[in-house]
């Protein structure tokens, strides 16, 4: 069995070297961020980078953990395990309160401070005993967008809802209508997911309601066909056009002046701010008195160069 023990010893030394390289068990604060995203989800790379940056700037130890396949039951175990390792704080998403509220509640009750980021709502965060919620509340984002449009002289609008079964999509339209100060009714159309259908419905609505001032789309799925529809009708650049989320075609349309602004929920802040908030809370006992909205950040033609330069890294 000598060969075997030699291999064991080699592994142990190799592993020890790896561990030694990755941890510097500092005396200072330690925070763990647990996400629900599988390894393959590149959107979360921004979160990882922002977390590392915050750890560096605040001089605290930060760790990023996620279930490799995105399995929420595995995520619950990771939260339990994070709690068992006794960090100063846990930053986590609340993707499914059914599965996650138990482990989060247990972590809070065992004396670990928790901040909810990204998925979830301020109410759900309060229910599990979290310090605060850092994310983009959909209604508030829509409301801010509506106010911005109102300032630009918009009085009526069309909301292209491609995901009408999801309550948060409708909240975006509702917020926009309230920010604009108009009643939400038939301006919100159920466009479906098919690009051709979306394009035709937008054209049909705008033909039937020629006095419409503005178009709001809820993401690349509805924005891209809407751009085509406006180009066909000769309205591109003429009608006021705002959208949620960013994507390749949207960025190009902003550059071409077809879209006035895109709403960015700014994932950077969702990872960065909780670390800053918790570190200051643990060091000096200060805590902001409310939840923090990481969005809406409005991306316009002016700021476009910075966005495309840092896309995938910090934006």
Partner 1 sequence: MAETGQGAVAAPVKDERVKETSALRKALIRPELGAIVGTIAVFIFFILFAGDSGMFNAQGILNWSTVSAQFMIIAVGACMLMIAGEFDLSVGSMIGFAGMSIALIAVTLQWPVWIAILLTFALCVAIGALNGFIVVKTGLPSFIVTLAFLFILRGFTIFFPQLIERQTIIGGISDAAEGDWLAPMFGGKIAGPFFDWLASIGVIDVFERGTRAGQPIVDGIPMLIVWALVLVVVAHTILTRTQFGNWIFAAGGDAQAARYVGVPVNRVKILMFMFTAFCATVFATCQVIEFGSAGADRGLLKEFEAIIAVVIGGALLTGGYGSVVGAALGALIFGVVQQGLFFAGVESSLFRVFLGVILLFAVILNTYIRRIITGER
Among 28, 45, 53, 72, binds partner 1 (CB under 8 A): 72
Binder among 29, 47, 62, 66 for partner 1 (CB under 8 A): 66
Exposed/middle/buried for 265, CB within 10 Å: 0-12, 13-18, 19+? buried
Contact region with partner 1 (CB under 8 A), list: 7-15, 178-186, 189-197, 306-314: 7-15
Q: How far is the CB of 50 from partner 1 (least distance, A)?
A: 17
Site string for partner 1, 132-171 (x = CB under 8 A): ---------------------------------x------
Q: Which of residues 29-48 bind partner 1 (CB under 8 A)?
A: 39
Query: Running DSSP on this structure, what letter comes out for residue 87?
Result: -
For the CA atoms of 23, 48, 137, 87, the dihedral, rounded to the nearest 10 degrees, stands at 0
Selected from 28, 129, 192, 195, the binder of partner 1 by CB under 8 A is 129
Total residues belonging to the chain: 315
What's the chain's Rg over C-alpha atoms?
23
Sheet holding 157-161, edge to edge: 188-190, 157-161, 214-217, 240-244, 261-264, 297-299
Of 10-18, 140-148, 189-197, 233-241, which part binds partner 1 (CB under 8 A)?
A: 10-18
Alpha carbon distance 146, 174 (integer Å):
9
> Which one of the spans 64-72, 208-216, 246-254, 305-313 is the region binding partner 1 (CB under 8 A)?
64-72
Please name every residue paired with 157 in a beta bridge, in sequence order, or none if there are none.
Answer: 214
Rounded to 10 deg, the angle between the 267-284 and 45-58 helix axes is: 30
Q: Which stretch binds partner 1 (CB under 8 A): 75-83, 195-203, 216-224, 250-258?
A: 75-83
Q: Which is nearer to partner 1, 66 or 121 (CB)?
A: 66
Cβ of residue 82: shortest distance to partner 1, in angstroms? 8
Interacting positions 239-298 with partner 1 (CB under 8 A): none
| Cβ distance to partner 1 smaller for residue 203 or 278 | 278
- What stretches of the chain show up as alpha helix (H) in DSSP? 2-22, 45-58, 72-84, 97-109, 122-127, 138-151, 167-180, 195-208, 220-233, 248-256, 267-284, 304-310
Angle at 207 between CA 142 and CA 186, to 5 degrees: 40
Task: List binders of partner 1 among 94-113 (CB under 8 A).
Answer: 96-99, 102, 105-106, 108-111
Q: Which stretches of the chain bind partner 1, using CB under 8 A?
A: 3-4, 7-8, 11-12, 14-16, 18-19, 22-23, 25, 39, 63-66, 68-73, 76-78, 80-86, 96-99, 102, 105-106, 108-111, 129, 165
């Amino acid at each position: 069995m000598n060969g075997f023990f030699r291999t064991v010893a080699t592994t142990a030394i190799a592993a020890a070297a790896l561990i030694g390289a990755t941890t510097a068990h500092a005396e200072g604060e330690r925070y763990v961020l647990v996400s629900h995203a599988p390894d393959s989800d590149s959107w979360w790379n921004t979160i990882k980078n922002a977390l590392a940056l915050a750890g560096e700037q605040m001089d605290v130890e930060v760790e990023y953990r996620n279930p490799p396949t995105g399995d929420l039951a595995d995520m619950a175990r990771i939260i339990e395990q994070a709690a068992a390792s006794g960090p100063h704080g846990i930053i986590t998403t609340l993707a499914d309160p059914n599965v996650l509220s138990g482990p989060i509640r247990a972590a809070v009750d065992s004396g670990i401070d928790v901040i909810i980021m990204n998925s979830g709502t301020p109410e759900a965060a309060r229910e599990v005993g979290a310090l605060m919620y850092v994310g983009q509340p959909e209604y508030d984002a829509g409301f801010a967008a509506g106010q911005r449009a109102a300032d630009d002289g918009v009085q009526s609008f069309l909301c292209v809802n491609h995901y009408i079964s999801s309550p948060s999509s409708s909240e975006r339209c509702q917020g926009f209508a309230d920010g604009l100060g108009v009643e939400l009714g038939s301006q919100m159309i159920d466009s479906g997911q098919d690009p051709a259908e979306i394009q035709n419905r937008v054209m049909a609505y705008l033909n039937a309601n020629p006095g419409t001032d503005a178009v709001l789309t809820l993401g690349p799925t509805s924005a891209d066909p809407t751009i085509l529809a406006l180009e066909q009708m000769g309205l591109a650049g003429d009608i006021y056009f705002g959208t949620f989320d960013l994507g390749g075609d949207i960025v190009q349309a902003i550059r071409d002046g077809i879209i006035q602004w895109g709403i960015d929920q700014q994932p950077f802040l969702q990872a960065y701010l909780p670390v800053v908030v918790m570190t200051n809370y643990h060091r000096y006992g200060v805590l902001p008195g409310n939840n923090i909205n990481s969005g809406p950040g409005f991306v316009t033609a002016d700021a476009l160069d910075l966005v495309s330069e840092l896309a995938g890294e910090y934006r």
